[in-house]
Structure 1
Amino acid sequence: MNTTTYAVTGMTCGHCEGSVRAEVAKIDGVTAVDVSAASGELVVSSDIALDDDAIFAAVDEAGYSAVRA
């Protein structure tokens, strides 16, 4: 299993977390998504290697921006 942590900017509440979680969960291979607005962290687990650009695009679709932590 692969686990990668990203720093997400702009999240302020549970709704923000839910938006990011929903978009990232749509990516093929993602098995778990943990998001914290308080820490600004996104932790993605997958059963295959994921392309960072796919994560960045999903977070962008939710209205935020991410970088690999």
Structure 2
Amino acid sequence: MTESVTLTVTGMKCGGCESNVTNKLKAVEGVLSVKASAKDNEVSVEYDAAKTDLDEIEDAITDAGFNVE
């Protein structure tokens, strides 16, 4: 089952930050698409709920060095 979530993520300042978050999330099995916006402090993720969950997504963002609000 495909689900979507938009998270408020702080600490992203530039396109490099967006790429870092995007790459970390795309490495998570089950993540289908990612859109990160430093300007809006948001990360939108579409994922397969049978393969991953919100905790894993939040952990990947934290591992990338950013905070999920």
Question: Which interval holds the TM-score relative to the shorter structure?
Answer: 0.7 to 0.9
- The partner residue of 2:56 within 54, 57, 62 is 54
Cα displacement string for residues 31-63 of structure 1 (whole angstroms, at most 9, x for unaligned residues): 100000000010000133542211111011111
TM-score by length of 1: 0.87
TM-score by length of 2: 0.87
CA RMSD of the aligned region, Å? Answer: 1.2
The runs of at least 4 aligned residues of structure 1 exceeding 2 Å deviation read 47-50
Residue 27 (structure 1) shift = 1.1
User: More displaced, 42-51 or 31-40?
Assistant: 42-51
Work out the percentage of aligned pairs sharing the same amino acid.
37
Equivalent residue, structure 2, for 1:23: 24
For the pair 1:13 / 2:4, whether they are aligned, the reply is: no
Aligned length: 67
Which runs of 5 or more residues in structure 2 are unaligned?
Answer: none
